[in-house]
Each structure stands twice: as C-alpha cells, then as structure tokens.
Structure 1
Amino acid sequence: MEDKDVHDVFQKLMDDPSFVRWIKSDFKEHNEQWKSYFTSHPEHHSVIDDARAVLIPLRDLDSTSFDTSKVWNRIHDSIMAEVTDRSENKKSRVVNLRYIIPAIAAILIAGLFYLNPFSSHSISKVTGNSEQLTVTLPDGSSVLMDSKSQVDFDKNKWKDDRKVHLEGLAFFNVQKGSKFTVVTPQGEVTVMGTSFSVYARKDKFEVFCKTGKVSVLSYNSDNESQILTPNDKVIFSEGAKTFVPSQENDDASVAWMNGTYTFLNQPLSTVFLELERQFDVKIAADENIKAMAYTGFFKRDNMHEALTSVTWPLGLQFSIEKQTVKVYK
C-alpha cells in the first residue's frame, strides 16, 4: 500500500475503541472480530505492529497521574525497539514515522483518552441479556439498543463528528444535520437524517433502512458498498452480500423493537443465540439439531412460549433446568 493509504487505515483503526481494546488486551477482547478483519485484509496486517508500538506502552500507566514526558519516552522506546527488530529482518517493513508521529501527538493531546478510551467526554452504554435500552444522543437523535449490545460516542466531539460505535443490534432515529456515521467491527453506515436498524454481530452485518437514505460499507466483503432507500435491506455474511429490495421486505426487519424476533430459513444455532440473549440462558443441543433450518418467530415476553414456537414446528422437545435449556428430539 501507498504511505497515504497506510496512514488512513492506521488513523481509522486507532479511532475505533474496539480495535484499541483488542490491541491493549493482547488480542483477547474482540479477537474473533478483528481476526476476521485482518484475515480479509492481509494488506493491513502491518498496522497491527505499529498500533502495538503506540498503545502497549500506555497499558499500565496510572491515569490519575498522566505525565506527557513519561508517555513520550515509553512510546519512543517501544518504536525504537520495533525499528531495531525489523532492521534485523530485511524483509520486514520499516516503521513509517511519518504517520506514527502524528498518532503519538494525538495521544499526547488526548491524554487520558487513550489510557481510558472512554473518558469523561465519552459515553459508553451496554445492555445485558434480556435487556433493551433507549439512548438519547447530544443532538436529540435516539438509539434503541437490543440485548447484549454496546454503543460508544464522544459528546465533546459530537457537534463536529456525529459518530457512534456499535456492537450488537440497534435502531437509530437520526435528526437531520451533518453526516452521521455508525461504525461497527464489520462495516459502517453513513446517513444525514433518517431511521434504520443495524445488526453487527460475529455471524453477520445487516442494515435495514426504515426512512431516508443509507450508505452501507462492509469491511469483510472487499469493501463492498450499498445504497439503501426506505424498506431496503442488505446482509453481509460469510463474505457474501445479499440485497433485499423494498418490495420484498415488511415490518419483520424491525419487529424486534416490539419484542418479536423473526427468522427466514436460518440454522437453529442462530436462533438459539438470540434466545440466549433475550432470556439470559444457555441452550445445549446436538450439532445436527443446531444445523436444522427454521422459519418462524418468537416473542421475548415468555420464555416457555418462545421455546415452544421454535421447537414444536420441527418436532423437537426441550427441558429447562435453572439457566440451562436442553433441546432434543
């Protein structure tokens, strides 16, 4: 890649809280998502080393006594060690200080933000199993979060940069104004003023446009993009894109907002994951059962009825013991 392209990728990733957490946790947090991203984008792999050179020295600094010179020294030593290591391997790419140095400057300016990615200026909202939450953004836009989801945004930068980081499932009702971006590990959604739903979990990246116009970019499908108008939907899963035009859609795409979860020819493994999120249980089943296809729906207001809705049409049975559900033939 050209230096400018590397710089752009580096800056974009360093602005993503989940990427920062992935690097600083030694690839433990969000590992599946970022492992998938770099598998699909091997040309970006060198950015990992550069990000580590910048972020790892900050990992154990005390956020209550931030010392700029201390931060600079740590990052400088880390980069010099990286340069030495790469110089011993002539085939390795040399650290490009032309884009690393601006990143360090940004860290020194941001200070505690990188020691604690969600500082007092940044807001992080998380929902647990069987929980939904409505969040009001600084401009009056709203986000309805479904179970096991997280949104992050910077209230101080909001006026100039309306950006929300999402992991999970959420519906956005966006006030008109400047560009509004939803960033997920799988891709991003850009709008001006509209309403739309975003599903961003490990198994797929799905966007449904309720009103207005939406631009969708997938990171894991060769940066494919799609423009959506009202009632259009696009799904990116396992490297493939499926576009569903408005005439083939109905309210099922956002029925989850009213507690109904619909599935069209989906493996039971996918349905079970949603049941686990909505009812805070673990579901045990043989692999041949998990592979069975299911078309139908369940409601989140009664677990027994929901399990019956899923298992009965397929001739399956279930038993419940505390927080574990066993599904069997």
Structure 2
Amino acid sequence: MNKNYHIDDTFLAKWLNNELTEEELTAFKKSEDYALYQKIADKSRQFKVPVFNQNKVYQKIQNQLEQQNSVKKLVPIWFYAVAASVLILLGTTFFFTNKTNYNSAIGQQISYVLPDGSNVQLNGESSISFSKRQWEKGNRNLELDGEGFFKVKKGSVFSVTTKEGVVTVLGTQFNVQTVKKYLAVECYEGKVNVKSDLAEFVLTPGKGVRFLDNNTKKYNTVNTEPNWLTKQYQYNAIPLSVVFKDIENVYKVKIINKGVNLENKYSGVLIKKDLEKALNVISKSMNFKYVVKRNEVIISN
C-alpha cells in the first residue's frame, strides 16, 4: 500500500489527540507499525511515577520491544526514538503535567478548537500549550510560542502568555506574533488587554501595538484578519527576525544566519510567489548576501 503519512512527533501527537484525518488513520492502522505503537500507548497509560524519568521510560520501551522481537521481526533502530516520543508525549501531556500541546511545522497552518469552543489558528513553526484540567476549573491560560490567530467564543475569558508579554481577552478576534524581543498584537473584534514589562494597553477593533527595543508603538490597521492569512505582507521598520520568519513560512524554507544582525529594521513588502525576487529585494535594501540551496537559505554579510 502507498504510505500517505509520515511518522514524526506531530503525527503522533495528532494520533494521540484523535486529530488524524480518516484517510491518515485508515492508512496508519493498515501499516506494520500500528500494532506496536498502539501497544506502547496502551502500556504507557498504566504508568504511575512521581517524576518523569526519560532514561527509565526509554529503557522500558526497549525491554518491551525486545520481548516483542522474540516472536516478531526485528524492529529498526529508528523505531526506538519515535516510540520513545509516543511515551514522552503521553507522559508529559496526559499524566505528568496534564498539558495539551499543539504545534505546526514551517509553512504549515493548523486550526484547533479549544476546550471552551474558542478557535486558534497557528502560523508556521508555532506552538501552544495549556492544561485541560485547569481550563475546566476556570483557569484558562495558554502559552504561545510563534504566531496565532484567535477567535474567542463570546463570554469566554482566557489569557495568552508569551515570553514577551500577556494578552487577556473577552469574546474577541485578535492576532499575536512573538519572536525574541518582539511582540505584536492586533485586535479585529471585541477588546484585548496587552501587558508587558514596558506598558499595558487596551486594544479595540482596528488597533494594534508593537513592543520592540524597550519601546512601544500603537498603530491603526484596516485588516480584519492577520497578514499571514491574507498573504499581504507590508513592513514598517520591522526586525529582520520577523521578516525572515515570514519568508520561512511563505516559501517553506529554513533560513540559516551567518552573521546578519536580525535586529536591523526593514521597511517594504514581501514578494509572495518568487523566493529569489523576494530575497533580492530585501537583501539590496538591507545589504546582506544570500545563497539558496534546496530548502535552505543561507544569509551572510
């Protein structure tokens, strides 16, 4: 049969959270790998340990698979690492920290429904985590790394925590983008309270705020959803770290930095349908060199 899926941590997380498509699940169940993964998942739910010990869990996996190997064909070495990730995902998500984690790969956009019925759409290479148990108790806080577009159910209150600040919402639609030393929030509906070490603001529809270099800047926007959904990228003194993150997601490439100062500010547009043209325009403006190698872009001074 044709294998129309790829087993990695994201795939396993979707499987464990019952988020595979019917086609993916059917193909997975027909594979030779499925029985072993299912057995490991079932066994892991019986674990009751006070502290998660990765080495101990890894050894337990090996022991289980060695017993399996005595009556079945040998399991390839790569299976140990992937099988370990099943237990790590199960252990950390369901039994030890009771946290649910969602993440997206470079260039991937994924939507999730939160326990209260609110929706979050993650941009590429982003992640959220939250505790379902705490959420049910009314402590609705989730952690965001990267960028997410939130549509909050009317009457529902929760907070989005990032390394650069906290966004608290009530029945609203908003976008949060965060990279190192940078936080940008735009409000499209309702009200958003944004708080960082620098300042605190309440945003209403059509308003946005950026925190950068110990400075804050409020601005107006005509957008009704974030630029990564409309594919209209316009920058006004935005750090290259943000611009390069957008390039990675638009063109599904990995940018490798060889000395370019990512705090330099770029003003201009991002060309969407031609990577070479996009890089050429930005590099001339920002005075850096680049080399494209398959799915990688190497930038240097």
Quote how far apart the aligned CAs of 1:266 are: 2.9
Alignment of 1:31-42 (within 5 A): none
Quote how far apart the aligned CAs of 1:117 are: 4.3
Select which of 141, 151, 154 maps to 2:128.
Answer: 151
Distance 1:300 1:125, change over 3 A: farther
2: distance between equivalents of 1:291 and 1:154?
Answer: 34
2: distance between equivalents of 1:131 and 1:292?
Answer: 26
**1:97-142 Cα deviation digits (max 9, x unpaired):** xxxxxxxxxxxxxxxx9x9542265321111111111111122211
In structure 2, stretches of 5+ residues that fail to align are 1-43, 53-87
Select which of 171, 177, 186 maps to 1:193.
Answer: 171
Counterpart residue number, 2:297: 325
Q: Which moved more, 1:137-146 or 1:257-266?
A: 257-266
Residue 276 of structure 1 contacts residue 283 of structure 1 at CA under 8 Å; is this kept in 2?
no
- The CA RMSD over aligned residues, in Å, is 3.4
Alignment of 1:159-308 (within 5 A): 159=136, 160-218=138-196, 220-221=197-198, 224-244=199-219, 246=220, 249-251=221-223, 254-278=226-250, 279-284=252-257, 287=260, 293-298=265-270, 300=272, 302-308=274-280
Distance 1:267 1:239, change over 3 A: closer
2: distance between equivalents of 1:267 and 1:277?
Answer: 16
2: distance between equivalents of 1:153 and 1:286?
Answer: 36
2: distance between equivalents of 1:145 and 1:243?
Answer: 24
TM-score, length of structure 1 as denominator length: 0.56
* Percent identity of equivalent pairs: 28
TM-score, length of structure 2 as denominator length: 0.61
Quote how far apart the aligned CAs of 1:296 are: 1.9
Higher percent of residues as helix:
1
1: distance between equivalents of 2:263 and 2:140?
Answer: 40
Letter in 2 for 1:66: K
In structure 1, stretches of 5+ residues that fail to align are 1-61, 72-112
1:66 aligns with 2:58: no
1: distance between equivalents of 2:94 and 2:143?
Answer: 15
Distance 1:130 1:255, change over 3 A: same
Counterpart residue number, 2:108: 131
2: distance between equivalents of 1:195 and 1:304?
Answer: 34
Quote how far apart the aligned CAs of 1:275 are: 2.0
2: distance between equivalents of 1:178 and 1:233?
Answer: 21
1: distance between equivalents of 2:147 and 2:195?
Answer: 17
DSSP 3-state at the match of 1:263: strand
Quote how far apart the aligned CAs of 1:67 are: 5.2
Counterpart residue number, 1:41: none
Alignment coverage as a number of residue pairs: 218
Quote how far apart the aligned CAs of 1:170 are: 0.6
